[in-house]
Structure 1
Amino acid sequence: MKFVSILMGSKSDYSVMEECAKTLEKFGVLHEVVVSSAHRSPERTHQYVKNAEAKGAKVFIAAAGMAAHLAGVVASLTTKPVIGVPMKGGVMEGMDALLSTAQMPGGMPVGTVAIGSAGAVNSAYLAMQILAIEDEELAAKLKEDRILKAKKVETDSMGIEIIL
């Protein structure tokens, strides 16, 4: 069974990461959601990643705020793609999490998306694009989604004149 694993450093992150799960569900992509902290429950994180990989996890999405080490820890435990979602919070409103997630050492990549809700949705889309490399049905669904988004922009702009 192939699936996407969604990890969060804290239960409070679920209000944002629920958008990731909903996006995957919309496309029929199997996933599981786990709360595990790189700092507060490192053994749980290590054990979960190893077990998830053995069960068929193909992509890991890791959401964390502040020091945001969860995605990096996950990347150190697997060679599967890891996508980091920086969460808002703290004095820097997520910029600290963004930098912590994006600044990985060479050879330990973590794909990093936007802070917060947009990042949660984009992490789901990026995970699906990775899966779609070997899944033609999912690739077709993603193409159709892009077509519908383009049509919505055209429909929403009806009656608005562009003057150059």
Structure 2
Amino acid sequence: MSTPFVAVLMGSDSDLPQVQTTLDTLNGLGIRVEARVTSAHRTPVRTHEFVKDAEARGCQVFICAAGLAAHLAGAVAAATVRPVIGIPVETGPLSGEDALLSTVMMPGGIPVATVAIGKAGAKNAAYLAAQMMSLADPSLYQRLKDDREENARAVEAKDAALQAKLAGK
């Protein structure tokens, strides 16, 4: 049996600065990742072939980042019953709002879980994929819990530093 992984697809290489957060978060959680640049409009056959091949090789979740018309997540969702998460890329004259609407407005029966526009959404896409995968992977579940606890400790440490600074005035 192949090792489960997340496929991260970008409509353009210009999406990488936002998607890098997704890749870094997945890697930090110890999740195998495959990343590709592929387009719903310019390379539809290649996109469809990759989705089918990735699914056969153990892809558990697809994350798709696209801007403007942002049809990549929908095209991928149409080709698989694996979970698909869409990241609306912050770009263009509407700063990603067009991508948000294109990603979230899917017809009934072809769902795409859609996260926020930009880097925060890119990070949350990774966490959402990890949470989905953790349903069948207790060690990943524990890594997610540990990560959440570390984030809480970091906030508490920042507050303690602020309180110390304010008390010193």
TM range (shorter): over 0.9
**1:122 equivalent in structure 2:** 124
Aligned-partner Cα distance in 1 for 2:88–2:109:
20
Give, as a single letter, the amino acid of the residue that structure 2 aligns with 1:38.
A
**1:147 equivalent in structure 2:** 149
Q: Which runs of 5 or more structure 2 residues have no equivalent in the other structure? A: none
Superposition deviation, residue 95 in structure 1: 0.2
Superposition deviation, residue 59 in structure 1: 0.2
Aligned-partner Cα distance in 2 for 1:27–1:130:
13
Q: Out of 101, 105, 108, which is 2:110 matched to?
A: 108
Give, as a single letter, the amino acid of the residue that structure 2 aligns with 1:50.
K
Q: Out of 72, 83, 86, which is 1:84 matched to?
A: 86
Q: Kindly, what percent of the aligned residue pairs are identical?
A: 52
- After superposition, the CA RMSD in angstroms is 1.1
1:21-79 CA-partner distances (Å, limit 9, x unpaired): 11111111001000000001101101110110011100000000000000000000000
Q: TM-score, normalised by structure 1?
A: 0.95
**1:60 equivalent in structure 2:** 62
2:31 counterpart of 1:29 = yes
**1:48 equivalent in structure 2:** 50
Q: Out of 73, 80, 84, which is 1:71 matched to?
A: 73
Aligned-partner Cα distance in 2 for 1:153–1:64:
32
Secondary structure of 2:36's partner? Answer: strand
Secondary structure of 1:157's partner? Answer: helix
Aligned-partner Cα distance in 1 for 2:91–2:85:
19
Aligned-partner Cα distance in 2 for 1:67–1:45:
16
Aligned-partner Cα distance in 2 for 1:10–1:154:
39
Secondary structure of 1:101's partner? Answer: helix
User: Following TM superposition, where does structure 1 have runs of at least 4 consecutive aligned residues deviating by more than 3 angstroms?
Assistant: none
**1:93 equivalent in structure 2:** 95
Superposition deviation, residue 128 in structure 1: 0.2
Q: Which runs of 5 or more structure 1 residues have no equivalent in the other structure? A: none
